[in-house]
Amino acid sequence: MTTVLVFVDRTSPDEAHGDALPKSTQELLTLARAAGDPAVVVAGPLSGPVKEALGAHGVARIYQSEQAELADYLVAPKADLLAQVAREASAAVVLLGNTPEAKEIAARAGILLSAGVVSDAVGLESGPEGGLLADKSVLAGSYLVKARATTATAIFTVKPNTVEPEEAVQASSPEVQVVEVAFGPASLGARIVERTVKPVSGRPDLTEARIVVAGGRGVDGDFGPIEELADALGGAVGASRAATDAGWIEHSAQIGQTGHTVSPQLYISAGISGAIQQKAGMQTAKVIVAVNKDAESPVFEIADFGVVGDLFKVLPQAAAEIKRRRG
């Protein structure tokens, strides 16, 4: 059976101390099971509960390394580890998340393994000639294409919310095997000299959130209604470039061609015109709801549901109704 290797990075202080598997990792494991025999390579510490959670996802073998270089340097040693394990495990498919860091690890590992890399996948399926086909949204979201790697090993970086994460019907038994990997990192170019923990907002991570509420120039400096609706729905807050450039919200909230790409189950766009560069970052969302006071706004061309109205009236009413129904 095809070995599908999933890369799990536990080197960041947050990951190392949390005992839950991030949703994006659970999604990768769900895809891995559908494509073959899942194995995992963990960079960083592996706690008992994480090992158990991986077992519940049908992982029978975990390759792990806690070598200091993995946490002390930027991505290169992680790519070295991944490439070594992919060779050892004879992995035909390697899956990673779609963060900028994961994409760089994929690219470097691709060079080390002479493997084709397909990034930004929003779907994976078996191809007619064997191997996997990835769905990709390209050219600022104007086309959905299918891409496959023609090499013996194929590496895919997959966007969050591509599948509904599910545990395996049968957990791996009797015991998950952990293989400690010693490796000689070849590339130690950029060392991390300091880390500053970002203040926690209490909202889900923008790129992983199932629900995103985004505001644009139409909020006119006041993200209050956007935040209120996001909190009522348990969602993340995003923004157009007009809003981040104006300094109304931090740049990390920007969605679009030069910001984050998000694929949530629900994307609520408020006071955003829907320029092509904004669409590029959100049009693979499963359901798009647009609130805009201009009925001719291009955002309505891609919206599944549209409300022509003032966001300062529509959003608070929606938030109040959601809170009322949720009790």
Question: Judged by CB, which is closer to ligand FAD: 6, or 249?
Answer: 249
Q: How far apart are CB 299 and ligand FAD at their closest, in Å?
A: 7
The nearest distance, CB 161 to ligand FAD, in angstroms, is: 19
Closest separation between CB of residue 248 and ligand FAD, Å? Answer: 10
Q: Which is nearer to ligand FAD, 131 or 274 (CB)?
A: 274
* Joined tokens for residue 203: 């909202």
3-state SS class at 57: coil
Q: Where are the alpha helices (DSSP H) in 168-279?
A: 224-233, 241-245, 276-279
Question: C-beta of 75: minimal distance to ligand FAD in Å?
Answer: 23
Q: How far is it, in rounded angstroms, from Cα 130 to Cα 118?
A: 16
> Rounded CA gap, 275 and 282, in Å?
11
Q: What's the min distance (Å) between Cβ of 281 and ligand FAD?
A: 6
Q: How far apart are CA 43 and CA 40, in angstroms?
A: 10
Please identify, using beta-carbon distances, which residue of 56 and 140 lies nearer to ligand FAD: 140
Tokens of 192: 């991390």
For ligand FAD, the closer CB: 116 or 309: 309
Q: What is the dihedral of CA 7, 13, 17, 23, to 10 degrees?
A: -40
What lies within 8 Å, CB to CB, of 200 at 6+ separation is none
Instruction: Choose among 304, 75, 32: nearest CA to 168.
Output: 32
Closest contact distance (angstroms) between CB of 261 and ligand FAD is 9
Reading the block at residue 235, the tokens are: 């969602």
Q: From CA 19, how far away is CA 17, in angstroms rounded?
A: 6
Tell me whether residue 165 or residue 238 sits nearer to ligand FAD (CB atom): 238
Select 146 or 251, whichever has its Cβ closest to ligand FAD. 251
Smallest distance, ligand FAD to C-beta of residue 60, A: 41
Q: In the complex with ligand FAD, which residue's Cβ is closer, 103 or 293?
A: 293
Q: How many residues does the chain have?
A: 327
Count how many Cα atoms sit within 13 Å of the Cα of residue 204 in the half-sphere of its side chain.
21
β-pairing, 143-147 vs 132-138, is: antiparallel
Q: Which residues bind ligand FAD (CB under 6 A)?
A: 216-218, 240-243, 254, 256-259, 271-273, 275, 277-278, 281, 291-294, 297, 310-312
Taking the complex as a whole, how short is the minimal distance between the CB of residue 307 and ligand FAD, in angstroms?
9
- With respect to ligand FAD, which residue has the nearer C-beta, 28 or 291? 291
